[in-house]
Amino acid sequence: MNHKLKRQHIQRKALVYLRQSTQRQVLENRESTARQYALTDRAKALGWSDDAIEVLDDDLGYSGATATWRPGFQRMAEMITRGEVGALLALDVSRFARCSADWHRLLELCHYTEVLIIDEQGIFDPADPNDRLLLGFKGQMSEAEKNWLKLRMNGARLNKARRGELWLRPPTGYQWDPDLQRLRFDPDEAVQESIRLLFRRFRIDCSAQAVTRYFTRHELRFPVRRVGDTQTRWVQARAATLRGILHNPTYAGTYVYGRRENRTLFEGGQVRRTRVVQVPQSEWKVCLHDHHPGYITWEDYMNNRRQLRSNTTHQTTTGATRKGPALLQGLLLCGRCGAKMKVQYSGGHTHYACERPRDHSASPRCWMLAGWRIDRAVVEQFLEAAQPPTVDLSLAVAREVNQQAEALKQQWQLRLERVQYEARLAERRYLAVDPENRTVARTLEARWEQSLVALRETERGLEVARRSHTVTLTPRDYTRIQTLAADLSLVWSAETTNDAERKVLLRTLIAGVTLTPLETPMRSTRVQIAWIGGAVTEVHVARPRRVGRRSTPEVDARIRSLVGKGLSDPEVAESLNDEGLQTVTGRRWGHQSIYQVRKRLSLAAPNATRHPGPVPDRREDGLYSKQGVARHFGVSEATVLRWVRAGWLPRVVGGKRGRRSWYRLDETIEAFLLTRSRKARAQRSAKQTSTGVAS
C-alpha cells in the first residue's frame, strides 16, 4: 500500500469522477468512458469496499471550461466539505477541471479536508508541498492544452472560411453545393419568389411589421427551414423571421463568418451563462462579396439595415411611422436641451412634449406645446419644397400596380402548383397500398382528402386574387394621375391619403425638425427643418399664452352684437356654434370661452347672464328639458341624468359644451321610464319607512 494512503482515507468514501466534454464524445468515444468506469477496480485494489465506492457520472457531456453548469462537480465539492470523502479518482486532472480557478479551489478543499487525488499515474496528497506543486502544474497544462486545441481548431476553421469553403448552415432560400463549396438558390421556385417578394415589399412598406401584415392580409404563407429540418415548411409569416432575413448579408451574395460570437457573462462575481451576441460589421472576420448568387445587391442590404435601425425608437432614430394625427412623430428634437420630443394625445388634440426635466427647476418636464400649428408650418414648407416628378408618373404607377398584382397572383399560382403536386402524391400513395391493408389505407385516404380540401381552398384563393387585384387604368385615370403629379397638395389633402402615408411623404425630404421656445421679441416657437440634402429652413410660429386671444376680430364683433342683444354666455356660445364659428384653435365655443372674450373686450355681463330666465319644461316642438322630464315623472334631476347615462333617455338636441339638452318622449320611452320612476319612488318610500322604524 502506498505510504500516502492511510486508514482514515479508507474509512471514508472514494469518489470516481467521470466527465466527457460533449454528448457526441459520450456516444462515440466509448473506450474513454469504459476506462473511467474501470477506476472502480483500482479503488477496490487500494482497499475500498464496494459500499465505500461511489461513481459520479452526472457530468458526462459537460465541458470542463467552468464548474458552474456541472452538477456532478458541485455535488463532489459538497461531499468534500462535509468530510465524507477520502479520495478522488479520475483518469487525469483534466477530467476535474480545465480552468485554473476551479482546479485550485478544489485543491484547497482537498488540502484542508485531507483528501487524496488519484489518477492512472499515481497518488497525490494536496497537503504535501511537492505533490501540490505537481498538481498545480498539471492543472496549468490542462488549461493550456484546452487553449491550444481551441486555437488549432479555430485556425483551421478560419483558414477555410477565408476561402469561402467552410460549411455554414444555409438560410431559407439557399442550399449548400458540396461540389462547388458554395451556396446556391433553393431549386423550389415558390421559395425563391417568396424571398424576392419579401424584399420588394420592404422597399415599399419600409417596415418588417408592415410586410408581415401584407402576407397575413393576402393569406400568403412563408417558407422556413429551421435547424434539423430536411424540408421547407410553409407557415404564417412572422415579423421576427422576416427581420432576421433582412439582417442576413447572405441574401446579398456575401459570405460572412464571425457575425456572431459566444460571450460569457458574470453576475455576482461568478460565471452565469453564455450568450450569443451580434458582432459589429467592422469586426467580421470574413466578408466575401459576390461569393454566391444573391437575391439583392450589397447596396440594397445596407439600405435595408439603415431602414431597420431607423425604425427602432431610440434617441438617435426617427422610428417607424405609426397611426395617429401627429405628422412629426419621431422627427422632433428639443432645441432647449437636445432631447427627443414625444407625442401626447389629449382630448382629441395633439401635443409635442419634451419630458426631460430642466436643470434647477421643479418642473416635471422641459416644455410642451400644441402640435397643430407646428404641423401646419412644416407641411407648408414641405409642399413648397416638393417638386413634381420629371418622369411620366402615370406610366410608373401603372407599371407598379401591375407588378404588385402579378407578384401576388404568382404567389398563389406557385402555391396552387405545390398543392396540386401534394394531392397527386397523396393519390399515388393511396392507390399503391394494398386495399386489404385497411389500417394503412384509411390513413392514406384521410391524407388524400386533406390534400383535396387544401387544393380547393387554394383554387378559391387564386380566383379571389385575380378578381380583386387586377387593376385597369382608363384614360381618365391617367389624366388624374398626371394632375396629381403636378400638384402634390392634391395628393396630400385627398381623403384616401391617411396620416401614416403623409408621414412617409414628409420623411422623403425631411430628416428632422428642431423646436426651440422663444420669449423675445415675441412669444413664438423657432422651427428648424433639416432636409435630407443637408439644407436647413427656419420659420417662426406664434405661440399664444394660455389665457390669450381666443377669437378673430370678426368673431369679436359678432360676440359684441350678441351680448348687446342681452344674450347670456351659454346662449352666445350656442349661437356661434350654430353659425359654424370656432375658436382660433379650432374648437367649439363654451360659456367659459365667451366669458374670457368678454373679459378681454371689457363687455359687461347682460342681465340674462346674471339672472337667466326660467327654463321651460317643454318646447313648442314637443322636446322636454331636464327639469321638464323630472317634473313629468316626479323624480329628481339626478335620476334623469342617470337615465341619460344608462341610454334609456336619448338626447335629441344639445349635450355639447354651451348648449342646453332637450329630450324627446315617445310612447315606448315614456312607458319604460314610467316603470323605472315607480320603482324609484317605491325604493325611496321603503328606505324612508325603514329609516323611521330604525329611529
| Cα–Cα nearest to 591, from 660, 640, 644 | 660
**Does some domain include residue 319?**
no
Indicate whether 679 belongs to any domain: yes
Q: Is the pLDDT of residue 405 over 90?
A: no
For residues 150 and 184, state if they share a domain.
no
More confident residue, 322 or 656: 322
- pLDDT for the residue 428: 87
Asked which of 126, 159, 192 is the last residue of a domain, the reply is 159
Q: What's the rounded Cα separation, in Å, for the pair 73 and 60? A: 11
Q: How far apart are CA 303 and CA 130, in angstroms?
A: 65
Active-site residue set? 21
CA distances from 605 to 42, 230, 564, 579 (A): 111, 85, 10, 22
- Answer with the one of 280, 295, 311 that is the final residue of a domain: 311
The grid coordinates of residue 441 equal 389505407
Which residue(s) pair with 184 in the sheet? Answer: 175
d(CA 521, CA 372): 23
Residue with cell 472576420: 285
Quick one: cell of 559?
A: 360676440
Q: Decide the pairing of beta strands 182-185 and 221-224.
A: unpaired
Q: Global pTM?
A: 0.58
Question: Hey, what's the cell of 597?
Answer: 372674450
661 - beta bridge partners? none
Cβ atoms within 10 Å of 370's Cβ, excluding its own: 15
- How many whole angstroms separate alpha carbon 10 and alpha carbon 1? 11
Per-residue cell: 390: 420629371
Show Cβ contacts of residue 35 under 8 Å, excluding neighbours closer than 6 positions: 91
d(CA 623, CA 630): 13
pLDDT at 123 > cutoff 80: yes
Q: State residue 79 phi and psi, 5-degree precision.
A: -65, -35
User: How would residue 665 be classed by pLDDT, with cut points 50, 70 and 90?
Assistant: confident
- The rounded distance, in Å, linking the Cα atoms of 663 and 479 is 52
Radius of gyration of the chain (CA): 40
Summarised one tens digit per residue, pLDDT across range 559-587 is 888 888 888 888 888 888 888 888 876 67
The model's pLDDT over 304-348, given as tens digits with 9 standing for 90+, comes to 998 888 887 665 566 677 778 888 888 888 888 888 888 888 767
Last residue of a domain, one of 159, 182, 207: 159
Residue type, 451: S
Residue 657 predicted with pLDDT over 60: no
Residue 128 sits in a domain whose CATH number is 3.40.50.1390
Is the pLDDT assigned to residue 213 strictly greater than 50? Answer: yes
Does the pLDDT of residue 608 top 50, yes or no? no
Question: What is the Cα–Cα distance from 466 to 413, expressed in whole angstroms?
Answer: 10
What's the confidence (pLDDT) of residue 222? Answer: 92
Looking at the structure, tell me whether residues 209 and 283 fall in a common domain.
yes
Q: Which residue has the higher pLDDT, 297 or 28?
A: 297
- Specify whether 224 is located in the same domain as 147: no
Q: Do 179 and 259 fall into the same domain?
A: yes
In a domain, residue 257? The reply is: yes
Cell 378578381, located at residue? 467
Q: Which residues lie closer than 8 Å to 449 by C-beta, 6 or more apart?
A: none
Look at residue 592 and give its three-state secondary structure: helix
Instruction: State the residue range of the domain holding 640.
Output: 614-695
Whether residue 390 is predicted with pLDDT greater than 50 in this model: the reply is no
Question: Which among 158, 81, 93, 147 has a CA at the least distance from the CA of 120?
Answer: 93
Helices marked H in 364-510 — which ranges?
372-385, 393-432, 438-468, 475-486, 488-493, 499-507
Residue 682 or residue 296, greater confidence: 296
Q: How far is CA 268 from CA 68, 98, 166, 496, in A?
A: 13, 22, 38, 58
Q: Say if CB 566 and CB 553 are below 8 A apart.
A: no
433-456 per-position pLDDT tens digit: 888 888 888 888 888 888 888 888
What is d(CA 683, CA 677) in angstroms, rounded to the nearest whole number?
10
16 and 122, same domain (yes or no): yes
Amino acid at 123: I
CATH number at residue 640: 1.10.10
- The pLDDT assigned to 383 comes to 85
Question: Average pLDDT of 479-504?
Answer: 73
* SS3 state of residue 80: helix
Residue 228: inside a domain, yes or no? yes
How far CA 126 is from CA of 36, 121, 136, 142, in Å, comes to 22, 15, 9, 17
Residue 605 lies in a domain: no
Q: How confident is the model at residue 251 (pLDDT cuts 50, 70, 90)?
A: very high
Is 574 inside a domain boundary? no
Mean of the pLDDT values across residues 357-380? 76
Its sign, for the CA torsion 221, 225, 227, 230, is positive
d(CA 362, CA 114): 66
Q: How many CA atoms lie within 13 A of 103 on its CB side?
A: 24
- Which residue in this structure is represented by grid cell 411611422? 321
At 218 the three-state DSSP class reads coil
| DSSP secondary structure letter of residue 494 | -
Residue 405 maps to a domain: yes
Per-residue model confidence as pLDDT tens digits over 451-464? 888 888 888 877 77
Q: How far apart are CA 362 and CA 559, in angstroms?
A: 40
- For 89-147, the three-class secondary structure string (H helix, E strand, C coil) is ECCCHHHCCCCHHHHHHHHHHHHHHCCEEECCCCEECCCCHHHHHHHHHHHHHHHHHHH
Round to whole Å and give the CA distance between 514 and 339: 10
Q: Strands 510-518 and 332-334: what pairing?
A: parallel
Identity of residue 196 = R
- How high is the mean pLDDT of the chain? 81
Give pLDDT, residue 391: 46
Region 119-142: mean pLDDT is 85
Domain count, the chain: 4
- 24 with 149, same domain? yes
Residues 16 and 153 in one domain: yes
Most confidently modeled range among 152-161, 243-252, 473-482: 243-252
Whether 132 and 201 share a structural domain: no
Give the confidence band of 614 by pLDDT, cuts at 50, 70, 90: low
Same domain, 128 and 18: yes
**Which three three-digit cell numbers place residue 56?**
459520479
d(CA 518, CA 531): 23
- Of 518-522, 541-545, 630-634, where does mean pLDDT reach its minimum? 541-545
Beta-carbon count within 10 A of 182 CB? 15
Same domain for 182 and 48? no
Greater confidence (271 vs 496) lies with: 496
Query: Distance between CA atoms of 588 and 500, rounded to whole angstroms?
Result: 27
Residues 87 and 140 placed together within one structural domain of the fold: yes
Q: Is residue 51 part of a domain?
A: yes
Number of C-beta neighbours around residue 148 at 10 A: 11
Over residues 481-509, mean pLDDT: 76
Element (H, E) at 531: strand 524-531
Same domain? 202 vs 291: yes
In this structure, are residues 606 and 617 in contact, taking their beta carbons and an 8 Å threshold? no
Helix axes 667-694 and 637-646, enclosed angle (nearest 10): 130
